[in-house]
């Protein structure tokens, strides 16, 4: 059989699965968002852009969008900064490298629900370690509207920094030591060495990490849903949580799909923008 | 180095696991088996198993399999929705929160009980319990036990300062200030209630709306028909927290979180359901003998005792394979004898007014007769198939007011907009 | 090199501190109930197995662990099996539209689950697959597939064509070359992809929460999120359940670290 035919044959099963369970739903969700659809009551009729028109003036939607943006920006900025710092700290590691990476990756590998429950307990006003270490002050981390979002961000940063740290660490390992030795000879050390050697070489990988992490932060659901449920008073309700509540609590499949489509579009726009940025960086480098 | 043996072993493991996962539910053949799904009954003793054995004795050849639901009301609802939507649910008789009955009836999941239940039996229950179970003139469920919102107060503290239970919230606030000034106990809270973002929080808000003479929906379904009064009610609730009459944590409190401090003697007033009284009267309770119940106070434009009724109903699955027997079980469990057994054994109150004057029951629990007028004064939450959707849509708005993130006026405006959007979808 | 060792030890100590939340949860899982709330001492006066006992004997966790294991293994096998074939086709064979398909794969890795959960829910409902293993196996495999294909296509491309050409000279057809030359060489890459797919499926929450209703198919994250408590939250039991839920991830991070890291880096460094 020809190579072309074999190629299609080998590709077909995967394409079938993807087509049915990823591509088709991605198109279907747009169709659903244009309908009034409440399966429980057998309601199914055309709505046109009514859901989107409502979202445009819905304060809850804009609040959720704000929370999503704040969460993404703060989370990603902290992760990248901390991740780079960790990688720099790990760079000279000679003994116990495997143990170091294991400890690091542990936070990343745990199920998000486990992390959520872990932090819920850490933040507990009476039984939590955080308040204990603060001398027993009964701070209500997850119940105070001003503290809930920062607490959530802290949990997410803890969970995802290892990924960035690992990427940076791998890149740092490939920088030959001779470069630093040569710089020392030239009289540049410490911060200057970082600015002249490390940063230009690590920046591309950091940009890639930024891309991945931003996309993940925009799509994040598990942590905020289990840790705070979007509360208190919607201060941790991201677009994903709003969409989920609309879908499975109020059973409005059409309306919930509309919010899902907005998240979809947002993620795609950010992805394209980032990729363009990365390609331009590579072109100019 | 294709690890062939490893791959084969993996396949075998996989097949075994798949087989385990696809295990069929065991089908009981022989005697007819009715599956009864209900939440765990709290209280000193669980009367349900005994009642089920009695039913089995009266109906030879029938076995009743009792299955427990998860604890949280939202989860129970999700469980029912997923199973009932799918087609053939594996249960016959279900315990439903009263607010779900119109929804399940509208969705066609429960059996029409009208042909099986004579009018006399219907009328033997509280009107406010039967009302939510009636849709389009048909009866869809029978009340199993009854709840009503109550004002709990510390009889010893009020007596010490020569006070009678407050009839208005203004009075309540004044009494709290007086008692707190007199007692000089920084750990003594004033008024505890449920302000968390969940159905219980919605109940508290509804009661505040009714206390001010307004309601959530008017006859045409329009939300907040009297927005100014609704605004006052919400401002009042937020004011309780801002002024310190209620501690800040009530915005995260559910029934149990609010009951415990009161039961430890650390609060003057509590809004809760009748079950709490049984727990306060337990031998090791710190407030034993010092707790009284009264109707909920009123606000300027409303009346006293505008409490929410609640409770559970029993319904039959529309796809049950033994409808007649299932209905018989429902009528048995909601009958007088069974409700009497439940009131004796558990912290539950019957849905039959006659039992509140029953000598045997009153002897065990002298507060029963006092509850009767309180229940009659109470009203059910909005009776509509879309109540749950309504509630989950408005809960975040009300919660935002309680934690001080939104003004009551804004919350009402935003809430009304969301409800109207919802109603657009529901309009047929 | 003494300062080197000291520095290394300090870095390790810092990382242990970083993992404190996890170790604290482990401690909580063996702390007696009376000492949980309020917290008065860092270390418990004694250790107790009562939480693990409750979780293993009286909760749905054992069943959830079985469900998760079966679903994760199955979806991993499915994803890696289909992904290896597709990856080879995209890497080596002149499939028309190859570039577009690969681009589509990359785009598909960015799809938000919240967008596809509602159509998938309707799909599963229509197919009568709600509350079954199959629904989650298919959904998880499909979601992991783009990344797996992308990874494996990349790994296969790294294998020199000369090896396959040598096999062709020996008279082996494409499929035979795939089976006896390429797959053995890409096996470590497949292991990496499999580990990532397994971790994804084990940790997956949204689909599992939406498609399951009873313990017949409930996975570990869902069981943990819905952990019941009658009056109060049983923090000790939840901690024990969390530790059990973390066993496979821990195993992977400790025992299969090399493959895991390789997979993570390959996914990020190749764009």
CATH number at residue C252: 1.10.3720.10
Which structural domains are found in chain B, ordered by start? 31-147+310-376 (3.40.190.10), 150-307+386-427 (3.40.190.10)
CB pairs under 8 A between A and B: 80
For A129-147, b/e burial (b = at least 16 CB within 10 A) is: bbbbeeeeeebbbbbbbeb
Give the pLDDT mean for B143-156.
94
If one counts every other C-beta atom within 10 angstroms of the C-beta of residue B121, the result is 17
* pLDDT for B327 beyond 50: yes
8 A C-beta contact, residue B266 and residue B208:
no
Q: Given this model, what pLDDT does residue B1 score? A: 39
Whether the CB of A205 is below 8 Å from some CB of chain C: the reply is yes
B3/C187 touch (CB, cutoff 8 Å), yes or no: yes
Whether C127 is in a domain gets the answer yes
pLDDT tens by residue, A100-129: 999 999 999 999 999 999 999 999 888 889
Q: Given this model, what pLDDT does residue B25 score? A: 45
Contacts of A231 in chain B (CB under 8 A): 197, 396, 399
Q: Given this model, what pLDDT does residue B9 score? A: 57
Give the pLDDT mean for C100-119.
89
Residue from the list A13, A29, A132 with its beta carbon closest to the beta carbon of C119: A29
Which residues lie closer than 8 Å to C229 by C-beta, 6 or more apart?
Answer: B71
Percentage of chain B exceeding pLDDT 70: 91
Q: Given this model, what pLDDT does residue B11 score? A: 63
Whether C163 is in a domain gets the answer yes
Give the pLDDT mean for C138-162.
91
* pLDDT for B35 beyond 60: yes
B417/A234 touch (CB, cutoff 8 Å), yes or no: no
Whether C24 is in a domain gets the answer no
> Which has the closest alpha carbon to A253: C50, C121, B22, B396?
C121
Cα-based distances in Å from C110 to A192, A237, A242, A243, C262: 37, 21, 20, 18, 21
CA gap A139, A137 in Å, rounded: 6
Q: How confident is the model at residue C167 (pLDDT cuts 50, 70, 90)?
A: confident
CA gap B318, B87 in Å, rounded: 10
Of B45 and B404, more confident: B404
- What is the reported pTM? 0.88
C187/B2 touch (CB, cutoff 8 Å), yes or no: yes
Q: Given this model, what pLDDT does residue C217 score? A: 87
Measure in Å the smallest separation between the Cα of C60 and chain A Cα atoms: 16
* pLDDT for A171 beyond 80: yes
Q: How confident is the model at residue A52 (pLDDT cuts 50, 70, 90)?
A: very high
Q: Given this model, what pLDDT does residue B45 score? A: 72
Of B41 and B355, more confident: B355
Percentage of chain B exceeding pLDDT 90: 65
* pLDDT for A263 beyond 90: yes
> Which has the closest alpha carbon to C136: C14, B349, A45, C144?
C144
Q: How confident is the model at residue C97 (pLDDT cuts 50, 70, 90)?
A: confident
Which residues lie closer than 8 Å to A189 by C-beta, 6 or more apart?
Answer: A183
Give the pLDDT mean for A171-193.
79
- Which residue range(s) make up the domain with C218? 46-269
Domain count, chain C: 1
Whether the CB of A249 is below 8 Å from some CB of chain B: the reply is yes
Q: How confident is the model at residue C173 (pLDDT cuts 50, 70, 90)?
A: confident
Q: Given this model, what pLDDT does residue B159 score? A: 95
Sheet holding B309-316, edge to edge: B62-68, B32-38, B93-97, B309-316, B142-148
Alpha-carbon Rg for chain B, nearest whole angstrom, is 24
Cα-based distances in Å from B335 to B121, B341, B375: 9, 10, 19
Q: Given this model, what pLDDT does residue B164 score? A: 95
| Lookup: tokens for B103 | 């929804």
Measure in Å the smallest separation between the Cα of C100 and chain A Cα atoms: 13
Cα-based distances in Å from C68 to B8, B18, B215, B414, C198: 21, 12, 47, 42, 10
8 A C-beta contact, residue B301 and residue B213:
yes
* pLDDT for B19 beyond 60: no
Whether C61 is in a domain gets the answer yes
Whether C65 is in a domain gets the answer yes
Out of A219-223, B64-68, B353-357, least confident range = B64-68
Q: Given this model, what pLDDT does residue A176 score? A: 83
Whether C21 is in a domain gets the answer no
Q: Given this model, what pLDDT does residue C231 score? A: 59
* pLDDT for B265 beyond 60: yes
3-state secondary structure B217-239: ECCCCCECCCHHHHHHHHHHHHH
Select the residue from B76, B421, B423 to test the A interface by mutation, using most A Cβ atoms within 10 A.
Answer: B421
* pLDDT for B279 beyond 80: yes
How large is the ipTM?
0.91
Q: Given this model, what pLDDT does residue B214 score? A: 94
| Lookup: tokens for B379 | 């009203």
For A42-121, where are the E strands, in sequence order? 43-46
Give the pLDDT mean for B285-300.
93
Q: Given this model, what pLDDT does residue A138 score? A: 81
CA gap B254, B184 in Å, rounded: 27
Whether the CB of B257 is below 8 Å from some CB of chain A: the reply is no
CA atoms within 13 A of residue B225's CA, in its CB half-sphere: 12
Give the pLDDT mean for A9-26.
92
Q: How confident is the model at residue B2 (pLDDT cuts 50, 70, 90)?
A: very low
DSSP lists the bridge partners of residue B293 as B152
B403/A249 touch (CB, cutoff 8 Å), yes or no: no
Helix or strand or coil: residue A112? helix
Contacts of A267 in chain C (CB under 8 A): 110-112
Measure in Å the smallest separation between the Cα of C102 and chain B Cα atoms: 27
Q: How confident is the model at residue B10 (pLDDT cuts 50, 70, 90)?
A: low
8 A C-beta contact, residue A115 and residue A159:
yes
Q: How confident is the model at residue B4 (pLDDT cuts 50, 70, 90)?
A: low
- Strands B142-148 and B309-316, bridge-based pairing: antiparallel
Cα-based distances in Å from A112 to B373, C33, C222: 50, 25, 11
> Which has the closest alpha carbon to C225: C204, C244, C243, C209?
C209
B149-B256-B390 Cα angle (round to 5) = 55
C73/B14 touch (CB, cutoff 8 Å), yes or no: yes
Give the pLDDT mean for A195-219.
89
Which structural domains are found in chain A, ordered by start? 51-284 (1.10.3720.10)
CB pairs under 8 A between A and C: 285
Could you give the dihedral angle defined by the CA atoms of residues B308, B312, B315 and B320, in that order, rounded to the nearest 10 degrees? Answer: 140
Q: Given this model, what pLDDT does residue C66 score? A: 95
Residue from the list A118, A209, A215 with its beta carbon closest to the beta carbon of C268: A209
Whether C27 is in a domain gets the answer no
B78/C213 touch (CB, cutoff 8 Å), yes or no: yes
Q: Given this model, what pLDDT does residue B16 score? A: 62
Q: Given this model, what pLDDT does residue A144 score? A: 86
Residue from the list C77, C179, C231 with its beta carbon closest to the beta carbon of B14: C77
Measure in Å the smallest separation between the Cα of C26 and chain B Cα atoms: 26
Q: Which residue carries 């196996």 as its tokens? A: C137
Q: Given this model, what pLDDT does residue C92 score? A: 86
* pLDDT for B70 beyond 80: no
Helix or strand or coil: residue B316? strand
Q: Given this model, what pLDDT does residue A6 score? A: 86
If one counts every other C-beta atom within 10 angstroms of the C-beta of residue B184, the result is 7
Q: Looking at chain A, which subunits does it touch, using at least 3 CB pairs closer than 8 Å as the criterion?
A: B, C
Give the pLDDT mean for A130-135.
90
* pLDDT for C135 beyond 50: yes
CA atoms within 13 A of residue A50's CA, in its CB half-sphere: 18
Q: Given this model, what pLDDT does residue B6 score? A: 53
* pLDDT for C212 beyond 80: yes
């Amino acid at each position: 059989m020809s190579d072309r035919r074999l190629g299609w044959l080998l590709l077909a099963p995967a394409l079938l699965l993807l087509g049915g369970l990823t591509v088709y739903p991605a198109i279907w969700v747009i169709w659903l968002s244009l309908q009034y659809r409440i399966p429980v009551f057998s309601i199914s009729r055309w709505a046109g852009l009514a859901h989107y028109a409502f979202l445009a003036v819905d304060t809850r939607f804009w609040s959720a969008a704000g929370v999503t943006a704040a969460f993404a920006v703060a989370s990603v900025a902290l992760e990248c900064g901390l991740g780079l710092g960790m990688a720099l700290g790990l760079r000279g590691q000679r003994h116990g490298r495997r143990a170091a990476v294991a400890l690091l990756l542990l936070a990343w590998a745990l199920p998000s629900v486990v992390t959520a429950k872990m932090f819920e307990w850490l933040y507990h006003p009476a039984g939590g370690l955080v308040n204990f270490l603060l001398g027993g002050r009964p701070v209500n981390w997850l119940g105070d509207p001003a503290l809930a979002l920062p607490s959530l961000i802290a949990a997410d940063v803890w969970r995802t920094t290892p990924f960035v740290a690992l990427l940076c660490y791998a890149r740092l390992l490939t920088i030959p030591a001779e470069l630093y030795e040569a710089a020392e000879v030239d009289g540049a050390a410490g911060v200057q060495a970082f600015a002249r050697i490390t940063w230009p070489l690590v920046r591309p990988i950091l940009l890639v990490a930024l891309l991945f992490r931003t996309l993940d932060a925009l799509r994040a659901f598990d942590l905020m849903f289990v840790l705070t449920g979007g509360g208190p008073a919607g201060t941790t309700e991201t677009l994903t949580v709003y969409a989920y509540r609309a879908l499975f609590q109020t059973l409005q499949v059409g309306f919930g799909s509309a919010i899902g489509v907005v998240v979809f579009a947002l993620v795609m726009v950010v992805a394209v923008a980032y990729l363009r940025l990365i390609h331009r960086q590579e072109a100019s480098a | 180095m294709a690890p062939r043996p490893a791959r084969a072993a993996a396949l075998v493991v996989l097949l075994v696991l798949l087989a385990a996962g696809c295990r069929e539910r065991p089908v009981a053949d022989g005697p007819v088996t009715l599956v009864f799904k209900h939440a765990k009954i709290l209280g000193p003793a669980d009367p349900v198993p005994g009642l089920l054995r009695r039913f089995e004795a009266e109906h030879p050849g029938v076995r009743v399999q009792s299955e427990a639901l998860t604890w949280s009301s939202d989860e129970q609802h999700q469980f029912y929705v997923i199973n009932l939507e799918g087609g053939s649910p594996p249960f016959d008789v279900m315990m439903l929160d009263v607010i779900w009955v119109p929804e399940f009836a509208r969705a066609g999941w429960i059996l029409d009980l009208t042909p099986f239940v004579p009018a006399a039996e219907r009328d033997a229950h509280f009107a406010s319990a039967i009302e939510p179970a009636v849709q389009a003139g048909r009866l869809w469920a029978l009340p199993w036990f009854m709840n009503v919102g109550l004002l709990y107060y510390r009889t010893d503290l009020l007596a010490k300062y020569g006070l009678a239970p407050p009839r208005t919230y203004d009075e309540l606030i004044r009494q709290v200030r007086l008692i707190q000034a007199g007692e000089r106990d920084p750990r003594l809270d004033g008024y505890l209630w449920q302000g968390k973002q969940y159905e219980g929080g919605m109940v508290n808000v509804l009661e505040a709306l009714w206390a001010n003479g307004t309601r959530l929906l008017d006859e045409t379904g329009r939300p907040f028909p009297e927005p100014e009064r609704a605004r006052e009610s919400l401002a009042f609730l937020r004011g309780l927290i801002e002024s310190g009459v209620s501690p800040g944590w009530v915005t995260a409190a559910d029934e149990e979180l609010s009951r415990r401090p009161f039961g430890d003697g650390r609060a003057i007033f509590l809004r809760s359901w009748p079950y709490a009284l049984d727990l306060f009267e337990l031998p090791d309770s710190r407030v034993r003998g010092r707790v009284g119940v009264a109707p909920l106070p009123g606000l300027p434009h409303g009346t006293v005792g505008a409490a929410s009724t609640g409770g559970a109903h029993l319904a039959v699955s529309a796809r049950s394979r033994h409808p007649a027997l299932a209905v018989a079980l429902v009528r048995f469990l909601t009958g007088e004898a069974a409700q009497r057994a439940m009131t004796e054994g558990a912290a539950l109150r019957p849905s039959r007014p006659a039992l509140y004057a029953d000598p045997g029951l009153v002897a065990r629990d002298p507060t029963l007769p006092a509850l009767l007028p309180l229940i009659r004064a109470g009203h059910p939450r909005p009776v509509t198939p879309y109540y749950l959707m309504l509630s989950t849509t408005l809960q975040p708005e009300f919660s935002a007011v309680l934690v001080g993130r939104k003004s009551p006026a804004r919350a009402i405006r935003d809430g009304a907009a969301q409800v109207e959007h919802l109603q657009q979808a529901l309009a047929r | 090199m003494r300062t080197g060792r000291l520095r290394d030890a300090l870095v390790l100590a810092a990382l242990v501190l970083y993992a404190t939340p996890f170790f604290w949860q482990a401690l909580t899982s063996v702390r007696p109930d009376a000492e949980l709330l309020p917290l008065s001492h860092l270390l418990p006066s004694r250790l107790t197995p009562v939480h693990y006992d409750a979780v293993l004997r009286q909760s749905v966790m054992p069943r959830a662990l079985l469900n998760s294991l079966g679903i994760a293994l199955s979806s991993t096998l499915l994803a890696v099996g289909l992904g290896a074939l597709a990856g080879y086709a995209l890497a080596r064979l002149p499939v028309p539209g190859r570039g577009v398909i690969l681009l589509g794969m990359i785009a598909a890795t960015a799809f938000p689950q919240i967008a596809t959960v509602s159509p998938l829910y309707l799909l599963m409902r229509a197919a009568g697959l709600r509350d079954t293993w199959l629904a989650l196996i298919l959904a998880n495999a499909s979601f992991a597939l783009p990344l797996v294909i992308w990874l494996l296509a990349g790994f296969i491309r790294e294998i020199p064509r000369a090896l396959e050409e040598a096999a062709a000279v020996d008279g082996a057809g494409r499929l035979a070359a795939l089976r006896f030359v390429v797959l053995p060489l890409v096996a470590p890459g497949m292991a990496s992809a499999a580990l990532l797919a397994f971790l994804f499926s084990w940790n997956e929450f949204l689909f599992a929460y939406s498609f399951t209703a009873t313990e017949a198919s409930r996975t570990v994250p869902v069981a943990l999120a819905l952990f019941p408590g009658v009056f109060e939250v049983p923090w000790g039991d939840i901690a024990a359940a969390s530790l059990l839920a973390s066993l496979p991830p821990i195993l992977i991070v400790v025992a299969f670290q090399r493959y895991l890291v390789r997979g993570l880096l390959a996914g990020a460094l190749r764009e």
